[in-house]
Amino acid sequence: MKNTTRRSEYSVPRSDARRRTLPDVPATLAALVHARDALEGGSRPDADTYLILSLLLLKVASDATYYGNPAIPYTRGEPPRCVPYCVPAHARFDTLFRQRHAQGNGVRVMNALRVFTLGNPRKLGGLFPALKLEDALPADPAVRDGALLQVLERLSLPALDFRQQRGATRPDVGDAVEALLPGQVPPALTWLMTALTHPGVDEAVYDPSCRQGAVLRAAANWMRDEERANASAGPARYPLYGQEPDPMQCAVARLRLLLQGTDTPHIYTREPLEEPLVQDGALQRFHVALACPPLSLKWAPSHASRDPHFRFLQGIPSRQWAHTALIQHMLATLEPASGRMAVVVPHGVLFREGEEARIRQAWLDENLVDTVVGLPDRLFAGASVATALLVLRKVRRNDAVLFVDARGLATRGKRGPRLDTDAAHSLHRLCSERRSVPGVAHLASAEELAVNGGTLSVARYVQPVARHPAADLATLRAQRVELAARFVTIQAKLNAELDALERELSDLA
């Protein structure tokens, strides 16, 4: 009997030779922006982006499970390289696509996302409701159906066809998502933070102030690169943990990491200083802690006195200086034998007096402080506060602290100083070499730190280099004589030209 199985718009090429080249980031980003542009009339900014990315996640999951349908022919080969989602047939993206011309696109899309969540409660539970995706839909049902019809068609462009990957992560997707979700942290800085702490594939990474997940995304990228360098293949099961009090930002962070290919990021809507992550009654431990918290951070010191985990034994900073308390919290969560952390802080954390000075001295006494990088001024949009990157380690080989002034490595952008990839790599090399470079870096001994009263201010240790060497008195006198002689010669020449001009004018008269 002749095979009458109809191949849909989503049929898969039978030969590897016919598979097209993977799209690049601009093509993938353009397809997503094209889909987002179809949504107009929503009631909340950014809701259209969140809806497009939610449907993108559904499409990635649908395309990954497409190979699980025995009725659809495909080239057999390696198994799916992902932790698969459960996508019921009536919630699949291709089902929505086939039904796009019928009325009720809005109802079908939202119902598909609900069914998608029910099939994957551990990964997706509470994600889409927290994003409030309904705010992206036009109020008029007819306009809504037409807009979603265009969205479904535009998300079906070749640049967004994921079937060939069989669930494997496609790098261009993560980069395109980053362009749609510009984070509060420069990408070069997040790379530098992960490079200085070097999280391994099997190590747990924690961000107590993850906001929209940009730092955790950089950590996932680093671990994935490590995995590829070690020639190991398998699902991206990197243990990522985060806390973010804002439910919307927490949901965005989860969505970002799921689209990155991370399996079930553990991100919780909690205040870290008040509700730390606990496991079996004890404070949960991590190999790496990374954070770029808001520059205006406050806390309630009253929590410290009744903290059951004894995180603040080194001291209790005042209410308006919560960054020092956050560092204490991060230190308490690190694995004792291998823990390391990197955190962006306002400069005041490095030199303020009082209780914070005593806490800093405790860090130095315990030999925890490894590197202090003074970041370029105005690196964060809308903030004029000077910032620094503080790196601490539970176990160190010596007691010297490296201080680096990164201001000279910044490039000038349209909106102020910019830390680009080249500068981040230069900083990483400087920190890895751990040596003094005049005007840029200084490796301070424990004795030098003691002489400076335990301050960690970069300006105290890295002095600017004079651009011109100081001249001696004899050299300056010789230069004065030379300049005076040149002045006399120039004056004589000018007088001669003026006398000649006056004679010429008198002859004409």
Q: What is the chain's mean pLDDT, rounded?
A: 86
* SS3 letters across 428-449: HHHHHHCCCECCCEEEECHHHH
| pLDDT tens-digit series, residues 399-442 | 999 999 998 888 876 666 788 899 999 999 999 999 999 999 99
Q: Are strands 369-374 and 411-413 parallel, antiparallel or unpaired?
A: unpaired
Per residue in 395-425, is it b (16+ CB within 10 Å) or e — as a string?
Answer: eeeeebbbbbbbbebbeeeeeebbbeeebbe
CA distances from 162 to 8, 16, 30, 64, 158 (A): 15, 14, 16, 7, 9
- Report residue 348 as tokens: 């005041």
pLDDT at 44: 80
The pLDDT of 12-29, averaged and rounded, is 58
| pLDDT tens-digit series, residues 143-177 | 999 999 999 999 999 999 988 776 677 888 888 99
- Report residue 457 as tokens: 């201010």
* pLDDT exceeds 90 at position 201: no
| pLDDT tens-digit series, residues 188-197 | 999 999 999 9
DSSP strands (E only) in 186-325 = 205-207, 240-243, 266-268, 278-279, 282-283, 288-291
Instruction: Tell me how far apart the alpha carbons of residues 334 and 360 are, in angstroms, rounded to a whole number.
Output: 18
pLDDT at 370: 98
The pLDDT of 228-232, averaged and rounded, is 68
| pLDDT tens-digit series, residues 32-68 | 999 999 997 667 889 999 999 999 999 999 988 755 4
**Of 161, 134, 176, nearest in space to 32 by CA:** 176
- Neighbour tally for 194: CB within 10 Å: 24
pLDDT at 13: 35
- Work out the pLDDT band at 225, boundaries 50, 70, 90: confident
* pLDDT exceeds 80 at position 329: yes
* pLDDT exceeds 60 at position 265: yes
pLDDT at 166: 66
What is the number of H-type helices and E-type strands within the chain? 19, 13
Helix (H) or strand (E) segment spanning residue 370: strand 369-374
* pLDDT exceeds 90 at position 99: yes
**Of 376, 388, 205, 178, nearest in space to 290 by CA:** 205
* pLDDT exceeds 50 at position 20: no
| pLDDT tens-digit series, residues 24-40 | 789 999 999 999 999 97
pLDDT at 414: 65
The 3-state DSSP class for residue 266 equals strand
DSSP string covering 104-168: -HHHHHHHHHHHHHHH-HHHHTTHHHHHTGGGGS-SSHHHHHHHHHHHHHHTTSGGG--GGGTT-
Measured in whole angstroms, how far is the alpha carbon of residue 31 from the centre of its chain?
23
Instruction: Tell me how far apart the alpha carbons of residues 426 and 140 are, in angstroms, rounded to a whole number.
Output: 54
Which of 7-16, 263-272, 369-378, 399-408 has the lowest average pLDDT?
7-16
pLDDT at 418: 80
